[in-house]
A and B are shown apart, each in its own frame.
Chain A
């Protein structure tokens, strides 16, 4: 019998737990030749900001052992362009659309989410709180409990759609930030965003990336991300979307067992654009093989006894 794959992410009902990581799937369109997008549980857009952002200067990506550094700088054309030129492509989408939202001030987040909340194509928002916050002198919101709590509270007031908060792993205790997001009114938590890293060209003694530092993703970060999902799952009650170096179904299953209600495939989309569907098929095969009728039985089932 076909196992039940439906999951509920804080009111966002997905037909299966496999999604994509923001920024790794463009706006979905770029991958349609390679992936049956409608088979996914959800797609997450590249982060949208209130104003157009040019992004950081190249080089923007660099490969390190088992991982990839990137510093794109949230290049996007702004929310108005998204509404005018991108949103219409989602009319016939048969999966859930989650819009990732970023900003430099709390009011930018609030404005974007208020503007987008009325569009029926959108099922949920993911707050990308890992960009520098100009309002509080270049602080990263996701690195500060109070800023996280405050932002989530302000955004919560302007939307009834499920609100997912994506956390940065570049903190000493991620459970404190997760708790702050929960208390601010978040419906779900995404973790993790990339780990801050860098690479140096020893010939020129210059940083490889135009931005000097960048975010590390890919299989190199999987054990770190997995540990954080497990810690947060033990500390808060909100559903978790787990991500960080998922390359195959086995990686995804680890995240689910650690406590993730859904998983997002990121960097792997670049390597094999069909990874999401392979992950989905692999999860289903695992449930059948282990006679698990409903994926909810597997979520957080880690046995530490």
Chain B
């Protein structure tokens, strides 16, 4: 489906906010799902690119809805996307994949949402959806310039902790150290749940913390994608039950299921 671009704004450091107009017939999106986007009608770039849904407001009586995408320019596809002006269109498939298991997550007494760098991309929508559960948001980056907490996150009035590896903002160190300290203090009884997205090495640490404290961890994973519909088996990840498709079985997985 072709969606019109409402805004495509540079935030800082190659990071952009894309807002797409969503018509009434567009299916409802859930936190953790993604759009598979064809940016140009060309052979280069050829394949679609997956983008996490950063925020979603469905179309209602008042008019069209909006999907927000938070992206970083890393290659040809995202460079082209960054040059798109408002009122031009992109072609999307989606919403694709299985997002966060809200029924399971909402049962937790305490929820941590842990983002490493661009890992915030799918997690704002989750934080907003779970706002009644008052999740604690942990946001980490290498340095201040790579840190990104948009005003909307502040408007949710959640407890937000920040860390940077160089100490330029928030606690100095890794966000997983912050998480580890909090879990130690919590004396968790297993009714805590962690939702995380970020570099694979960070997610491996979060997964290990979950194992140590016997608490559920849901992680959003990424990989080069082909079809985005579960057909090509290109974007698989190793699980205890063999390879699974990130695009269709994920992108959110229970971390216990993954082979780290």
Contact = CB atoms under 8 A, between A and B. Distances in A.
Contact of A75 (B225, B228, B243, B248): B243
Interface in B191-221: none
A271 B43 CA distance: 10
Contacts of B252: none
Interface stretch (A50-58, A105-113, A118-126, A276-284): A50-58
A67 B232 contact: no
B227 interface: yes
A218 to B, nearest CB: 6
A218 B43 contact: yes
B203 to A, nearest CB: 15
Contact of B229 (A23, A31, A57, A219): A31
A62 to B, nearest CB: 6
Nearest to A33: B229
Contacts of B167: none
A25 B233 CA distance: 10
- Greatest chain B CB density within 10 A among A54, A60, A75 is at A60
B234 A219 contact: no
A61 B225 contact: yes
Contacts of A61: 224-226, 232, 234-235
A30 B229 contact: yes
A105 B236 CA distance: 27
A63 B233 contact: no
Contacts of A270: 47-48, 226-228, 232
A58 B237 CA distance: 7
A184 interface: no
Given A55-B243, A75-B236, A273-B93, A26 B43 contact: no
Contacts of A67: 46
Contact of B38 (A30, A31, A46, A271): A271
Interface string A73-115: 0010000000000000000000000000000000000000000
B74 interface: no
A213 interface: no
A207 interface: no
B interface, by DSSP: helix, strand, loop or mixed?
A: loop
Interface residues of B, number: 28
Interface string B47-59: 1100000000000
A218 B46 contact: yes
Contact of A60 (B45, B93, B234): B234
For this complex, into which size category does the number of interface residues on chain A fall? 20 to 34
A25 B231 contact: yes
A72 B237 contact: no
B181 interface: no
A30 B231 contact: yes
B44 interface: yes
B12 interface: no
Contacts of A60: 224, 233-236
A187 B47 CA distance: 34
A72 B234 contact: yes
A60 B243 CA distance: 11
Given A61-B224, A63-B224, A68 B231 contact: no
Given A247-B43, A270-B228, 13 more contacts: A23-B232, A26-B231, A55-B233, A55-B236, A58-B235, A62-B224, A68-B226, A75-B236, A218-B46, A219-B46, A271-B47, A273-B93, A273-B227
Interface of B: 38, 43-48, 91, 93, 223-238, 242-243, 248
Q: Which 5 A-B pairs have the closest CB atoms?
A: A26-B231, A61-B234, A30-B231, A270-B227, A219-B43
16 contacts: A26-B232, A30-B227, A55-B236, A60-B233, A61-B235, A66-B44, A66-B46, A75-B233, A218-B43, A218-B46, A247-B43, A269-B227, A270-B48, A270-B226, A270-B227, A271-B48
